[in-house]
């Protein structure tokens, strides 16, 4: 039996994968196995399978070129939103992020049998959380190009801002509220930190990028103190960073610490630490719009070439090969957020169109 893209998408959206991906991964493995392409699962829970002249899924050090990798993820954000279908509209958690792109990439993989080269499907389990799966794959796949499935409204996205979070700790002298001088009070010290955040990109941050625009630095959480009449020894401010090339998360944390230290009064000190530094934060990337994989997908889809509006696993692959983000669905529409929202939806016509476009692009590349 042939692959039924609508049935697979329905089963995928009906399968919760916001707390764990075991059931969703089982569905994907069963579908591939039934189609004659049993995959393997790597040590980080990613599902991999290849076809063509080489076999990258069996850890070949030299898969036949061109080696194109189709990547997306099977996890979703919480909470699970039940599946609903109204004609061509499917609603539910993961409908567009990213089970719609998954269905499209899976269809293209099953339709394509390269006479030369290797085609790999690499599906990760943790894009919405740690992205350890993609980071582990990035150095092992030896690819010539990546198509990463995300809701792009069938546009060909060749760039994305990076994203990381950091905690800023302001340290001073705690004590009785009646006696601690303002210069020692770390809560007062937050004003210097906030002024430093406001001036950071004007004085030390990267320049605006042609595709991505300006970087963005946003304070999001303030914490400190445990009783109204006591000054705390320290207080903390969490920031969200959306970066543009060439900034990396590590460079950002180091340069921000230097900048804020220069703003702080002598009586206080400031530290900047990436939150969960074991997690590989996605750095910004820009793929050459003249790359063959960009051209092939642009011609096949008819979509615009632009930047993607969110951080994505594509950032882990882009340093080693031309990488594009592509798929059905939208991050937001005229009414507001779609992906990650309770109203998440996708048009099945767009899922089919994405599958056709990726298949046609692969035909051009092989």
Q: What share of the chain in percent tops pLDDT 70?
A: 98
Inter-residue contact 165 to 239 (CB < 8 Å): yes
Average pLDDT score over the chain:
94
Q: Residue 279 falls within a domain, yes or no?
A: no
Phi, psi (degrees; rounded to nearest 5) at 197 = -65, -40
Boundary residue ending a domain (256, 274, 292): 274
In the chain, which ranges are E strands? 40-41, 47-52, 67-73, 84-86, 89-91, 118-124, 145-149, 156-160, 162-171, 175-176, 216-223, 230-231, 234-243, 269-274, 285-286, 305-307, 323-326, 332-333, 336-337, 345-347
Whether pTM exceeds 0.85: yes
Sign (positive or negative) of CA dihedral 243, 244, 247, 248: positive
Total number of domains in the chain: 2
CATH code of the domain covering residue 96: 3.40.630.10
CATH code of the domain covering residue 201: 3.30.70.360
Model confidence at 1, pLDDT cuts 50, 70, 90, reads low
Flag whether pLDDT at 103 surpasses 90: yes
Same domain, yes or no, for 147 and 174?
Answer: no
Per-residue pLDDT at 56? 47
Sign (positive or negative) of CA dihedral 191, 196, 201, 202: positive
Give residue-wise pLDDT tens across range 232-264: 999 999 999 999 999 999 999 999 999 999 988
Flag whether pLDDT at 25 surpasses 70: yes
Per-residue pLDDT at 280? 85
Give residue-wise pLDDT tens across range 259-312: 999 988 889 999 999 998 777 889 999 999 999 999 999 999 999 999 999 989
Same domain, yes or no, for 154 and 295?
Answer: yes
Nearest to 314 by CA among 192, 189, 161, 102: 161
SS3 category, 26: helix
Same domain, yes or no, for 218 and 79?
Answer: no
Model confidence at 54, pLDDT cuts 50, 70, 90, reads low
Boundary residue ending a domain (239, 274, 309): 274
Per-residue pLDDT at 57? 44
Angle (deg, nearest 10), helices 99-111 and 5-14: 150
Same domain, yes or no, for 247 and 302?
Answer: no
Give residue-wise pLDDT tens across range 135-166: 999 989 999 999 999 999 999 999 999 999 99
Domain boundaries, position 258: 162-274
Same domain, yes or no, for 82 and 127?
Answer: yes
Please compute the mean of the pLDDT values over residues 39-61 and round it to a whole number: 79
Q: Residue 145 falls within a domain, yes or no?
A: yes
Boundary residue ending a domain (223, 245, 274): 274
Same domain, yes or no, for 15 and 155?
Answer: yes
SS3 category, 336: strand
Same domain, yes or no, for 46 and 126?
Answer: yes
Same domain, yes or no, for 307 and 267?
Answer: no
């Amino acid at each position: 039996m042939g692959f039924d893209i609508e049935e697979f998408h329905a089963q995928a959206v009906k399968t919760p994968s916001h707390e764990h991906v075991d059931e969703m991964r089982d569905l994907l493995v069963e579908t591939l196995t039934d189609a004659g392409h049993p995959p393997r699962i790597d040590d980080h829970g990613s599902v991999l399978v290849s076809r063509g002249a080489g076999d990258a899924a069996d850890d070949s050090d030299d898969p036949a070129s061109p080696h194109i990798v189709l990547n997306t993820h099977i996890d979703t954000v919480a909470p699970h939103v039940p599946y609903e279908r109204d004609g061509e509209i499917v609603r539910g958690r993961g409908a567009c992020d990213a089970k719609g792109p998954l269905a499209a990439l899976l269809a293209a993989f099953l339709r394509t049998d390269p006479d030369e080269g290797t085609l790999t499907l690499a599906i990760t389990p943790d894009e919405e959380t740690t992205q350890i799966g993609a980071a582990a794959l990035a150095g092992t796949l030896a690819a010539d190009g990546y198509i990463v499935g995300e809701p792009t409204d069938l546009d060909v996205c060749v760039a994305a801002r990076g994203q990381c979070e950091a905690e800023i700790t302001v340290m001073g002298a705690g004590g009785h509220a009646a006696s601690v001088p303002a210069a020692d009070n770390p809560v007062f010290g937050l004003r210097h930190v906030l002024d430093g955040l406001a001036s950071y990109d004007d004085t030390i941050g990267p320049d605006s990028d042609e595709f991505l625009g300006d970087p963005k630095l946003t304070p999001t959480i303030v914490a400190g103190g445990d009783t109204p009449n006591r000054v705390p020894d320290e207080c903390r401010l969490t920031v969200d960073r959306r970066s543009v090339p060439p900034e990396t998360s590590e460079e950002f944390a180091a340069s921000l610490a230097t900048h804020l230290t220069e703003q702080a009064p002598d009586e206080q000190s400031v530290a900047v630490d990436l939150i969960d530094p074991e997690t590989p934060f996605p750095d910004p990337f820009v793929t050459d719009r003249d790359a063959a994989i960009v051209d092939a997908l642009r011609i096949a889809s008819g979509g615009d070439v632009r930047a993607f509006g969110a951080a994505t696993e594509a950032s882990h692959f882009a340093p080693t090969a031309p990488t594009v983000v592509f798929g059905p669905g939208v991050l937001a529409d005229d009414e507001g957020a779609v992906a990650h929202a309770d109203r998440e939806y996708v048009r099945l016509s767009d899922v089919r169109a994405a599958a056709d476009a990726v298949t046609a692009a692969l035909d051009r590349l092989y």
